[in-house]
Amino acid sequence: MLYSKSYGLGENLVFLHGWGFNSDVFINLTNKYKDQYRITLIDLPGHGRSDNVNGDIDDWRDEIIKILPKNPILVGWSLGGLFAIKIADKIPIKKIILIASTPKFVKSNEWEYGIKKSDFLNFSNAMKNNLSKQLKRFVSLQTKNKEQIKIINNLINKYPANIQALEQGIDFLLNSNLISEFEKIKIPKEVILGANDKLIPIGIKKFYSAQKIPIKILNCGHIPFIENDFSF
């Protein structure tokens, strides 16, 4: 069973978090927007308070769909962006907003907007060897906001992801290619990128711009929503 919790009243807005984290990473955004939206936070399978889900990315997607409110705006950060795309390709969704995310994370001959496979594997192996320590180090490199660093570090300690989910998530990030699915989605899309993001090359703005998707670029790293000037 997946963990979810809702706050506020209004149009449905759902947050999907990234690899190794949990939905509490969005607590500041929840407090900021709960007077405008009915916000639903979901812990991905094996992350936070959610049970594991065996299978592939479609199995994870199907479990998320079971607990989604009707016709929501989906906000997907990093790995969560893959699920926003997969869900929007499967059921009616009002809009998707991708934060520091991409339909294909790893660079290939036909996709220049990813990171090298070797760099990705080095990053993921370091994370797996000491998840809590490496996630905290990763967060500290994304912002100078010490208050936000402290908040996120506390939630990393409180709700760690388990090994099975981490392995599955790495597989999804390494092998998923959702470019065609993303291009076929006809609902409104928005993208928010960090100019200093080491995981999502800023050059991907060319891909999004070619599809006339509104893009916001912030002077930050891979976690744009912890910056004080972040907004949709």
Q: What is the CATH number of the domain that holds 33?
A: 3.40.50.1820
Q: Has residue 83 been placed in a domain?
A: yes
The answer, yes or no, to whether residue 156 has pLDDT greater than 90, is no
Supply the pTM of this predicted model. 0.95
pLDDT of residue 142: 79
Taking only the tens place, the pLDDT of each residue in 112-140 is 999 999 888 887 777 777 778 888 888 88
**Whether residue 78 lies in the annotated active site:** yes
Q: Has residue 169 been placed in a domain?
A: yes
Q: Has residue 21 been placed in a domain?
A: yes
Q: Are 217 and 230 in contact (CB under 8 A)?
A: no
The single residue of 78, 101, 124, 176 carrying the catalytic annotation is 78
**Whether residue 132 lies in the annotated active site:** no
Taking only the tens place, the pLDDT of each residue in 159-183 is 889 989 999 999 999 999 999 999 9
Number of residues that this document lists for the chain: 232
| Lowest-confidence region among 93-102, 131-140, 191-200 | 131-140
CA dihedral 20, 196, 26, 180 (to 10 degrees): -70
Q: Are 194 and 224 in contact (CB under 8 A)?
A: yes
Nearest to 205 by CA among 213, 110, 197: 213
Instruction: Round the average pLDDT of the chain to a whole number and report it.
Output: 92
Q: Has residue 148 been placed in a domain?
A: yes
SS3 of 190, please? strand
- Please report the sign of the dihedral spanned by the C-alpha atoms of residue 205, residue 207, residue 210, residue 213: negative
The answer, yes or no, to whether residue 55 has pLDDT greater than 80, is yes
**Whether residue 17 lies in the annotated active site:** no
Q: Has residue 87 been placed in a domain?
A: yes
In one-letter notation, the amino acid at residue 98 is L
Nearest to 178 by CA among 119, 111, 122: 111
Domain that holds residue 158: 4-226
pLDDT of residue 9: 92
The domain tally of the chain equals 1
Q: Has residue 202 been placed in a domain?
A: yes
Alpha carbon 188 to its chain centroid, in Å, reads 18
Read off the pLDDT band of 154 (50, 70, 90): confident
Kind and range of the H or E run holding 192? strand 189-194
